[in-house]
Amino acid sequence: LRQVDTSVDNLVDDPAVEEAAQLLKSGEVVAFPTETVYGLGGDATLDEAIARIYEAKGRPSDNPLIVHIAGIEQAKRYADDIPPGAEQLMNAFWPGPLTIVLRHNGSLSPKVTAGLDTVGMRMPADPAALALITAADLPLAAPSANRSGRPSPTSARHVYDDLNGRIPVVLDGGETGVGVESTVVDATQTPVMILRPGGISQEELQAVVGPVAVDPSLAFDQSAKPKSPGMKYAHYAPDAPLVLVDGDAAFFAAVVHDAKAAGKRAGALVFEEQIGTTGAEQEVSLGPQADPAEAARRLYDALRVFKRSEVDIIYAVTFADSGIGGAVMNRLLKAAGGRRVSAEDSN
Ligand code: TXA
Ligand code: MG
């Protein structure tokens, strides 16, 4: 796997972007930066390219891929019907971290949509991503560029660690800005429904389209079947088991103390203010407690830092379910497989 640098001034004539675009045109797959996480892209109209994506990731093929386009007009070429709410969302949030699920018109590879009659589309904001889509002149199907089940990649290095030997090229655009994936919104129903929380919050969506529903399965009520097919798989798993800790810094330190007393080496994924207070063998900071956007930026790299050779268990702080903090909490819950200890329960 070669890492080619895109951090030059004129991306339109960038030889790295040109090379990657040629690979895509020949049915190959290429990893590229977006403002959320790195994607693993392939021609969304070509079955063989989509098969390569699933294979490189080791991803179950019943989980549909997001199609990345470089403008609203390009999106309309693959959609069957654009409801007014979807149009408003595109105008307000594209380019940006919002994926809009629409009915498709059958012109994309059925492997992209995993046989559904809908497709998720997104116009990314990263200039290298837009330059690549434009140079390839193709809609790019792109899931996150990690091995299936691992934390999503927020740097070219993460892509390299997961996919070296499995794909030809990663465009290196530096660290991503948002750090968690796009919000997925189903615009085929009224009101529109959030299927995956992400870079755009429910509050921001509501300011544009009015009432916005949330998939009930996001409440971590296991009885509700997730509507977004990808939500049912293990995700974002760090090397060692992760447990969420609901409570203050003193409770966190007590939980770590108990683990150590039981002979376990503990890792702590905590706020800046807690560094030095947890008693854990390894502490990693998510930034200041008052800055959940910083936690979103740091989360996936932080999850990759912990190694089973160093820690037996990782404890992590929790976030309130609002704004970008809600998206961070959603990823932490998945990374923990729902495992949680609470100060309330142990009183
Ligand atoms: O930020 C992102 O969205 C990144 C970057 C690369 O753009 N991409 C990404 O893709 O996260 P992926 O494949 O890891 O996640 C796509 C999510 C999955 O949960 C999938 O089930 C859901 O979107 N999805 C895709 N198409 C769908 C559809 N037609 N209906 C419902 N959910 C869909
Ligand atoms: Mg993913």
Q: What does the pLDDT look like over 308-331, one tens digit per residue?
A: 999 999 999 999 988 999 999 999
Taking a 5 Å cut-off on Cβ, the residues next to ion ligand 2 are 144
| 176 among annotated binding-site residues | no
Task: Determine the pLDDT at residue 14.
Answer: 79
For the chain, percent of residues with pLDDT exceeding 90: 85
Structural tokens at position 121: 């589309």
DSSP 3-state assignment of 194?
strand
The DSSP symbol for 151 reads: P
Nearest 5°: phi and psi at 25? -65, -25
pTM, full prediction: 0.94
For the chain, percent of residues with pLDDT exceeding 70: 93
- Beta bridge partners of residue 341, listed in sequence order: 245
Task: Determine the pLDDT at residue 153.
Answer: 98
Residue with tokens 């530096």: 174
Task: Determine the pLDDT at residue 345.
Answer: 77
CB 68 within 8 A of CB 142: yes
Q: What is the mean pLDDT of the chain?
A: 93
Q: Which ligand is nearest to the CA of 196?
A: 1
Strand blocks (E) in the chain: 2-5, 30-32, 39-43, 66-68, 79-81, 98-104, 118-122, 140-141, 169-172, 183-186, 193-196, 213-214, 242-246, 266-270, 282-285, 313-316, 340-342
The complex scores an ipTM of 0.98
Choose which residue among 132, 184, 217, 218 to substitute to test ligand 1 binding: the one with the highest number of ligand atoms within 8 A of its C-beta: 184
| 104 among annotated binding-site residues | no
Output the CA torsion 268→269→270→274 (10° steps). Answer: 30
93-120: average pLDDT: 97
Q: What does the pLDDT look like over 34-57, one tens digit per residue?
A: 999 999 999 999 999 999 999 999
Distance CA 286, CA 270 (A): 6
pLDDT band of 198, cuts 50, 70, 90: very high
H/E element, 85: helix 84-93
DSSP 3-state assignment of 82?
coil
330-337: average pLDDT: 94
In this structure, the residues whose C-beta lies within 6 A of any atom of ligand 1 are 34, 36-37, 39, 63-66, 97, 99, 101, 113, 116, 118-120, 122, 124, 142-144, 181-182, 184, 195-196, 228-231
Closest C-alpha to ligand 1, atom 7 = 39
pLDDT at 164 over 80: yes
pLDDT at 12 over 70: no
Distance CA 185, CA 200 (A): 10
pLDDT at 131 over 50: yes
Q: What does the pLDDT look like over 256-287, one tens digit per residue?
A: 999 999 999 999 999 999 999 999 999 999 99
Beta strand 118-122 with 98-104: parallel, antiparallel or unpaired?
Answer: antiparallel
The residues, ordered by sequence, that sit 6+ positions from 281 with a Cβ below 8 Å of its Cβ are 265, 266, 267, 310, 311
pLDDT at 223 over 60: no
Range name among 73-77, 165-169, 226-230 with the lowest pLDDT average: 226-230
Distance CA 274, CA 156 (A): 29
Q: ∠ CA 197-186-201 to the nearest 5 degrees? A: 30
Q: Which ligand is nearest to the CA of 66?
A: 1
Task: Determine the pLDDT at residue 222.
Answer: 45
